[in-house]
Structure 1
Amino acid sequence: MIKNFLFLCITLMLLAAPYGKGEAAGITTYEKFIVPSYWTEHNPDGDKIVLNAAAVEAFNKKVVAASPSVYEMANYPKQVAGKNVAAYVGNYTDLSEDMYREGKLVSDNYKNILRAQTNAAAIPAEVTVRYGVTVRRTNVRNLPTGEGLFYYASDRNFDALQETALDPSEAVAILHTSANGYFYYVQAYNYRGWVSKFDVAETDRSTWLRYAAPKSFLTVVDRDYTLKADGEQVFFQQGSRLQMSDKKDSTYTVKIPVRTKDGKLQEDKVVLSRNASLNEGYLPYTTNNLIRGAFKFYGSVYGWGGLRNSVDCSSFISNVYRTVGIFLPRNADKQETSAGIHKKMGNMSSAQRANVVKGLTPGSTLHMDGHVMFYLGSSNDTPYAIHSLGSHYTGGTRHSTMQVVVSDLNLQKSSGNTYLNELTTCVTFR
């Protein structure tokens, strides 16, 4: 299934190149529509609190209950059955198909090396959880390697082993180690996979809990934020949380996790100027705050699985909602079935579908097979969304977009169906 999806994305990208960058049907660059102010000004209830802090906390518990991929990390078990960890580790990309590395066909010997690196035979009957904190943005991999594998020799965008990316200061449960000792298999709050051990610092449970369930923290509310700690530029994406230890009229002091040479956690205190990129705690959960957060990514490059320090369609949604304290599943299909108010499209006509969408609260998500969009509102009776778009069809011509765009729902699939007619579910997270 993933191969078919990647084939579609890559084919669209390659075939679109000769047609240039002219605006395709459905995507708008109308100056009023590509800034948040238009949508917030036309959102009469946009500044009303959707859920207060207590209700946000209660909703997150509903997300955990409805979504097997999401964990309340502070309650993560101290021991996990080895058979479960073995099942996690063994759930990797089908290596029986042709794959390419740096444009060259990967040998069966190389694939066998990757399989052996999962070190599955070393998993004990009962795994005692170790506790780690990410010290820099790190890629979560399907197999214990940092090298990209692709289904097509020409592809450089859709790494088949890339699952997602974790920001610094993320609490992870360490469940297993690769055969060469260079990768940890970890569980984060909404994903699990292999990360470089050099991006994780181990610590005791009580320290780890400060990161798993922080009490005093700053939230990154801009698209991203970079600071210097321990001589390194540390990149945080929207929705990341920084441990706050002190504040003054014009500055914050934060604790940034650092990995010592022996792999242990050390905290570097960094003084930051107060600025609009950082918010003390979460933003109030209002739909206008969501809209403003979404537009921080407008024009950003599409980043499959968080590559390019950017977002794909579902991490875009996840990041925006993290700023108001809502922690959603990572992938679009999991977000579609998570907690919230669901509007199923079923066999509705185009007019009925449009009426459902136009009746949604801005910030609701619009789901179709393999894609999710953030609903902005309607103009001239036409609904619009902002989304991280890989590719699409218009008038039988394939287009590569690879960008966060604003569009109506007249974009087309390869079948000729519009996105409106491909919608399966709309979800309002409340």
Structure 2
Amino acid sequence: MFSHPRPLTALAAALLALSLGGCTPKMLRDTAAETPLPPLAGVEDLQRFPQTIDPYLIRLQERNATLPVQQGYESTYYKVWDDAYTPEALEEVKWPFDVYRPENAYGQNLQPLSQAWFYAMLREANWQAYGSTAGRAVALRRLDLRNFPTEKPLFRDPSVAGEGFPFDYLQNSTVFAGEPLYISHYSRSGAWAYVMTSYATGWVPVDRIAPVGRAEREVLRAQPLLGLLEDRMPIHSLRGRYMFEGYVGMVLPLQQKSAAQWRVDPAGHAGTAEIRREAAAPLPLTFTRENMRRVIAPMMQTKYGWGGLYGERDCSSTLRDIFAPFGLWLPRNSYKQSRLGKVISFEGLDDAAKLAKIAAEGRPFETLLYLKGHILLYLGVYDGEPAVLHTVWGVKTVDDEGNFGRHIIGKTVISSLRLGHELEGYSDEYSLLHKVESMNFVFEEEEE
């Protein structure tokens, strides 16, 4: 449910927060990656549809060779290190200061933010220096990309269903440790750097990034990329020093391989590291059932994280991380992901016709289903109905007087497009099925 930094898209993200959300029991503890999470009480789909990926994999059409769209991941991943890279225009990145204002802004204590606070943020942002640095760097750990140079949140009215926690509108996205960065400029205090990645931009603390010179960049870019296949995996140097945490979807330059280990040399970390052979694989993986199981199984433990907050995922980052080990680069926001490959519109179709079209033409594990502000992965027909994987905050409900509420789910689930249909206050008008607009095939080139 996350959107890319643009004024209109930011407003769409706000509208999305009003359409998917809620308030029901949450998981009390984590479980092992191989263990299915218990279903949430009162959500029929999460009991009817197995919450492990294995039962659905039989529907995946395996390919024993890589496709053209699985090549070239490196060029996009490293593009901010290109000599010819040009950052976006100032008006393209400064939009949060135009969109977020004190008229409807609340801080971490759920009290209104003052105009003085906004003035202080604008001063710290130091926009007159935009583009003055043109430095290259890497992230030293997983980083939040912030819309203002602060770790403090900005919420909309928390009394409105679908607003307040966890929708911190200053959270733009996240980057993994070792990701290439372009530094535009520094904040007035020098504590923050404004950076670009291959898919998003934002403010990061300067003590969590490291500069990378031209010679080191050339060495790193010449190495193949290794994709990680475990979540929250501690990465240590050869001397046993903790370096950072690894996640599915994260890639690192592969320096050397042995029978039991992969050796990586993440720039800026002052040392090489070794990763267990079964916990990673060189890009791109072939599109097989076993490889898809290796990628998705650990991700079924993901709790919902707006814009990647708290080391978790939202809907679009879940899909990015699923396809990264297969060498398929996805944009960050759900709308742009929905334009990838061949697109089939559902315009003019009623709900029954949409279900029939998805079942008849959808390709399991390579078809994305899009509705405004949300995106899902089609898994095939299960128990007579299309099954989808998605990371979702909750189900919108409405009472007899027209008041909206939320039934919180807050994690990655497998469901139908009628998720929550048995809940009190559920309305077909606000269902995933009714709002879904299109499907697209990510491995098929877009038709001219």
TM-score range relative to shorter protein: 0.7 to 0.9
- Tell me which stretches of 4 or more aligned residues in structure 1 moved more than 4 Å: 58-61, 78-81, 394-397, 412-415
**Alignment match of 2:195 (pick from 171, 186, 191):** 186
**Alpha-carbon contact 2:230-2:246 (below 8 Å) kept:** no
Matches within 5 A, 1:64-83: 72-75=79-82, 77-78=84-85, 80=87
Distance 1:216 1:89 in 2: 35
C-alpha deviations, 1:402-426, integer Å up to 9, x for none? 1111101113676634322211111
SS in 1 for 2:216: helix
CA change 1:182–1:293 in 2 (3 A) is same
Does 1:132 pair with 2:132? no
Distance 1:326 1:278 in 2: 16
Which residue does 1:156 correspond to in 2? 165
Does 1:423 pair with 2:423? no
Distance 1:179 1:314 in 2: 33
**Alpha-carbon contact 1:306-1:312 (below 8 Å) kept:** yes
Which residue does 2:41 correspond to in 1? 22
Deviates more, 1:296-305 or 1:369-378: 296-305
**Alpha-carbon contact 2:184-2:195 (below 8 Å) kept:** yes
**Alpha-carbon contact 1:385-1:406 (below 8 Å) kept:** yes
Q: How much has 1:354 moved relative to structure 2? A: 1.2
Which residue does 2:63 correspond to in 1? 48
**Alpha-carbon contact 1:80-1:128 (below 8 Å) kept:** no
Which residue does 1:263 correspond to in 2? none
Segments of 5+ residues of structure 2 without an aligned counterpart are 1-10, 27-38, 400-404, 444-448
Q: How much has 1:87 moved relative to structure 2? A: 4.1
Does 1:385 pair with 2:388? yes
- More strand as a share of residues: 1
| Letter in structure 2 aligned against 1:145 | T
Matches within 5 A, 1:162-173: 162-173=171-182
Q: How much has 1:309 moved relative to structure 2? A: 0.9
CA change 1:349–1:152 in 2 (3 A) is closer
**Alpha-carbon contact 1:291-1:376 (below 8 Å) kept:** no
Q: Provide the alpha-carbon RMSD of the alignment.
A: 2.9
Deviates more, 1:285-294 or 1:239-248: 285-294
Distance 1:248 1:59 in 2: 24
Which residue does 1:262 correspond to in 2? none
Distance 2:411 2:150 in 1: 27
CA change 1:283–1:109 in 2 (3 A) is same
Q: How much has 1:210 moved relative to structure 2? A: 4.8
Q: How much has 1:323 moved relative to structure 2? A: 1.1
| Letter in structure 1 aligned against 2:42 | E
CA change 1:343–1:287 in 2 (3 A) is farther
SS in 2 for 1:328: coil
Q: How much has 1:429 moved relative to structure 2? A: 0.7
Please report the TM-score for the alignment, with normalisation by the length of structure 2: 0.80
Deviates more, 1:100-109 or 1:131-140: 100-109
Distance 2:249 2:19 in 1: 30
Distance 1:353 1:7 in 2: 24
Distance 2:155 2:65 in 1: 42
Distance 1:38 1:343 in 2: 27
CA change 1:168–1:382 in 2 (3 A) is same
**Alpha-carbon contact 2:368-2:439 (below 8 Å) kept:** yes
Does 1:35 pair with 2:52? yes
C-alpha deviations, 1:94-149, integer Å up to 9, x for none? 2243322221322211111001111012336xx46211111110000111111122
Distance 2:103 2:326 in 1: 42
Distance 1:35 1:292 in 2: 12
CA change 1:76–1:367 in 2 (3 A) is farther
Matches within 5 A, 1:353-392: 353-358=354-359, 359-363=361-365, 364-392=367-395
CA change 1:209–1:316 in 2 (3 A) is farther
**Alignment match of 2:413 (pick from 405, 414, 423):** 405
Distance 2:87 2:73 in 1: 26
**Alpha-carbon contact 2:143-2:174 (below 8 Å) kept:** yes
Which residue does 1:205 correspond to in 2? 214
**Alpha-carbon contact 2:73-2:327 (below 8 Å) kept:** no
Does 1:307 pair with 2:309? yes
Q: How much has 1:153 moved relative to structure 2? A: 5.0
Distance 1:271 1:57 in 2: 25
Deviates more, 1:346-355 or 1:389-398: 389-398
Does 1:235 pair with 2:245? yes
**Alpha-carbon contact 2:139-2:181 (below 8 Å) kept:** yes
Distance 1:241 1:80 in 2: 23
Which residue does 1:216 correspond to in 2? 224
CA change 1:350–1:90 in 2 (3 A) is closer
**Alpha-carbon contact 2:58-2:289 (below 8 Å) kept:** no
Which residue does 1:245 correspond to in 2? 255
Deviates more, 1:98-107 or 1:324-333: 98-107
Q: Which has the higher contact order (CA 8 A, sep 6+)?
A: 2
| Letter in structure 1 aligned against 2:327 | G
